[in-house]
Structure 1
């Protein structure tokens, strides 16, 4: 009887392919979440008369070595930062969905990640102040908009991406 050589799949390569695919799908989910957040912001601003914030654009320009004054309204940089952050953190949420980090708890955690990401960059560049210094209304509005982003991103990611890489290792701390 002839023995056939079995072709061994490169499990690392397969995992990497699945992870990269879920990151791309997650980035698309993040863009859907960013669109929902934008719509919510525009509706809220129409009702409250709150002006646009250009802190994200100032943050991006500072990160790129092209800082601007606090009075500047870098619209293109604002749009790039808004949608870029949406896609980037959507990619993260897509990987979570693939690895079994899903549902409401994942969405709540993702909201915190989104807020922390924005605040880290805005404060590290000096383009924004920490939320502890913001008026309560500003914090509430920002937190709600970021929650909308994460809920919509999470719903899309969890729907589009099957949980194919759930590990049972490390269930216990010992």
Structure 2
């Protein structure tokens, strides 16, 4: 059985979290580009779901429409960057490469599929049409793949 010194465990944890944050930022860039391209094609307006979710969870409300759009962007970037941390924890637990990216995708997408209906911000997946589900899955896959590629490029063990 391999034993770890406490300082090595903390170093490894800090490294996994730090790389995860950087990778999450890269994944957020990827999903932002994916969503921007999709919105240009479909003429869909930017989503305010991030601000709506924070408003419901924290019981706060932006005072103006422009503020809501800004808060949505801030939450989008913060949420996406923070979701890189689980990718780092997967690697720390020994799950790497494409299996880690798949686990990360499932974790992220499943969280949204549960959380948004619970907050009354989206219908349950059983009430969504196929194109909506496919678009949502595609964006989350782009995020997970972007995060995974960035994580593996930085960590390269």
TM-score, normalised to structure 2, is 0.85
Contact 1:61 1:77 in 2 (8 A): no
Distance 2:107 2:52 in 1: 21
Match of 2:22 in 1: 28
Q: Secondary structure at the match of 2:59?
A: coil
- Alignment pair present for 1:159 and 2:149: no
* Aligned residue pair count: 153
- Using the TM superposition, give the Cα deviation of residue 76 of structure 1 relative to its aligned residue in structure 2, in angstroms: 2.2
| CA displacement 1:124-159 (0-9 Å, x = unmatched) | 322222222122111111100000000010011112
Match of 2:74 in 1: 80
Give 1:91's match in structure 2, choosing from 85, 91, 94: 85
1:118 to 1:77, Cα distance in 2 relative to 1, 3 A: farther
Please identify runs of 4+ aligned residues in structure 1 that moved more than 3 A. none
Pairwise CA RMSD of aligned residues? 2.4
- Using the TM superposition, give the Cα deviation of residue 14 of structure 1 relative to its aligned residue in structure 2, in angstroms: 1.7
Point out the structure with max Rg over C-alpha.
1
Q: Secondary structure at the match of 2:83?
A: helix
Give 1:63's match in structure 2, choosing from 43, 57, 66: 57
Distance 1:39 1:26 in 2: 20
Distance 2:80 2:43 in 1: 24
Distance 1:85 1:157 in 2: 17
- Alignment pair present for 1:13 and 2:20: no
Match of 2:44 in 1: 50
- Using the TM superposition, give the Cα deviation of residue 162 of structure 1 relative to its aligned residue in structure 2, in angstroms: 4.8
| CA displacement 1:48-104 (0-9 Å, x = unmatched) | 222222222201121111258xx9982122112211221121011022223321111
